[in-house]
């Protein structure tokens, strides 16, 4: 592939896309947007003068990461005005890692720091309006501070807040427009007013860091919550006599569960169970939940007042406690295929289609199989899967046409 393929219009032919059966023709208009996808079997010599034959390769949009805590050494919770250029570097890193868009995630901290971070991300998002070939900030994911203390995990106790309308208004301040998602424990709401209030502002509600019973979770879904934060983690486990939050989510076809597919947060066998029970990309989406050392080499890094050691993308404290991951989003695609949990088509969909459906469900509901039409062709990713090298990918219009191994892409952008 050559860079002059960026001259539109053009056709992408003999392509396989998640959600479509058989080989497809993808039509890109003069402005670089995907306008039509149709079976190659219906092509009768009307292919445009410019075309790219991908020879039965899988292609897709890039990933969307709805939970990512930082990169290049910068925790998103700590961002300040002087970090704007670093955030731009992170956006380029994520683009190089196959991510089209993301929700920088702010974990539990002081209200002052939350507002500081929201102000910075509001400014960066506005600066991105005319930019291309960089991961776009869709908004911010607030993971806290309305979490159950019994399942707070690494979130500091002193900054947890009661779940009341007054406290929610205080946390959002004047920045509700940048907040796209909030993780909360619904059992903390004694009024039943919080989730409807957040939904009235267009904020997606994800249930997590919670001890909610199945009944409490069911109530949260009825009130408008639609997502689960990092399934299995920071919630009651599956139990055959005490169905809780996760059981309620799995058995509700309207709920999407976020999944960290690094092999550490959730065992592969449990991932297989979750995907099968949730109808794969119709009920689960991949997240990285990556920490600030994403994009850096293994080593020792600060983690609050402690130190964490990163080895092969997994971060642990000195006592062995799991802190998190530093693996890119699309590594989860590679892992699912390597573990033989699902075929490449479904694994790709979990990071690309399912994520878009989870965050934009209402606006995409009438479009099947979602996501591709009216999207920039420059976002397209081409995939291969071989016995020798496993799953590999490259940007379809990359000036460097070589495929990238997902095992090494965390070092791109340094």
Q: Say how far apart CA 288 and CA 64 lie, in whole Å.
A: 10
Of 65, 232, 249, 216, give the one whose Cα is nearest residue 139. 65
Closest CA to 345 of 223, 380, 336: 336
User: Are the C-beta atoms of residues 356 and 371 closer than 8 Å to each other?
Assistant: yes
Say what the alpha-carbon torsion angle 147, 150, 153, 156 is, to the nearest 10 degrees.
Answer: 60
DSSP bridge pairs for 38: 25
Q: What letters, b where the CB count within 10 A reaches 16 and e where it falls short, cover 222-258?
A: ebbbbbbbbbbbbbbebeeeebbbbbbbbebeebbbb
Distance set, CA 391 to CA 139, 335, 361, 370, 381 (Å): 30, 9, 28, 24, 12
Choose the catalytic residue: 174, 279, 289, 298.
289
- For 169, counting Cβ atoms within 10 Å of its Cβ (0-12 exposed, 13-18 middle, 19+ buried), the class is exposed
204: β partners? 181
User: Are residues 266 and 237 in contact, defined by beta-carbon separation less than 8 angstroms?
Assistant: no
Tokens of 232: 């299995």
User: How many CB atoms are located within 10 Å of the residue 298 CB?
Assistant: 15
Q: By the 8 A CB rule, do 163 and 147 touch?
A: no
Encoding tokens for residue 45?
């010599």
Calpha distance 56→63 (Å, rounded): 21
* Alpha-carbon distance values, 110 to 158, 160, 198, 204 (Å): 9, 9, 20, 22
Spatial CB neighbours of 46, under 8 Å, sequence gap ≥ 6 = none
Question: What distance in Å separates the CA atoms of residue 236 and residue 222, rounded to the nearest whole number?
Answer: 20
Residue 289 bears catalytic tag: yes
Catalytic residues: 289
């Amino acid at each position: 592939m050559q860079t002059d393929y960026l001259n539109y219009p053009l056709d992408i032919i003999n392509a396989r896309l998640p959600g479509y059966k058989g080989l497809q023709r993808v039509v890109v208009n003069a402005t670089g947007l995907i306008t039509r996808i149709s079976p190659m079997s219906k092509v009768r010599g009307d292919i445009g003068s410019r075309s790219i034959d991908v020879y039965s390769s899988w292609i897709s949009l890039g990933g969307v990461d709805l939970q990512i805590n930082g990169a290049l050494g910068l925790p998103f919770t700590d961002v300040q005005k002087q970090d704007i250029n670093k955030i731009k570097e992170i956006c380029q890193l994520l683009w190089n890692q196959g991510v089209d868009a993301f929700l920088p995630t702010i974990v539990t901290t002081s209200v002052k720091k939350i507002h500081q971070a929201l102000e910075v991300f509001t400014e960066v998002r506005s600066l991105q309006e005319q930019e291309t070939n960089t991961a776009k900030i869709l908004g911010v994911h607030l993971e806290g501070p309305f979490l159950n203390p019994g399942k707070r995990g690494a979130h500091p106790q002193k900054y947890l807040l009661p779940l009341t309308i007054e406290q929610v208004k205080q946390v959002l301040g004047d920045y509700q427009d940048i907040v796209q998602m909030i993780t909360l424990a619904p059992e903390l709401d004694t009024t039943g007013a919080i989730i409807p209030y957040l939904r009235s502002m267009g904020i997606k509600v994800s249930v997590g860091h919670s001890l909610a019973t199945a009944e409490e979770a069911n109530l949260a879904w009825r009130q408008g919550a639609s997502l689960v934060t990092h399934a299995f983690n920071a919630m009651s486990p599956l139990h055959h006599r005490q169905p809780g939050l996760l059981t309620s989510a799995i058995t509700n076809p309207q709920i999407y569960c976020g999944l960290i597919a690094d092999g550490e947060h959730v065992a592969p066998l449990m991932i297989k169970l979750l995907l099968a029970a949730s109808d794969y990309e119709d009920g689960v989406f991949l997240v990285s939940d990556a920490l600030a050392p994403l994009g850096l080499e293994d080593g020792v890094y600060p983690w609050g007042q402690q130190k964490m050691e990163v080895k092969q993308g997994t971060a642990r404290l000195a006592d062995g406690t799991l802190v998190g991951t530093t693996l890119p989003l699309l590594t989860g695609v590679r892992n699912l295929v390597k573990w033989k949990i699902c075929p490449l088509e479904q694994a790709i969909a979990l990071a690309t289609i399912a994520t878009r459906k989870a965050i934009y469900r209402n606006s995409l509901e009438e479009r099947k199989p979602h996501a591709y039409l009216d999207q920039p062709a420059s976002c397209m990713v081409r995939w291969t899967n071989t016995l020798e090298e496993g799953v590999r990918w490259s940007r379809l219009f990359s000036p460097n046409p070589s495929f990238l191994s997902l095992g090494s892409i965390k070092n791109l952008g340094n």
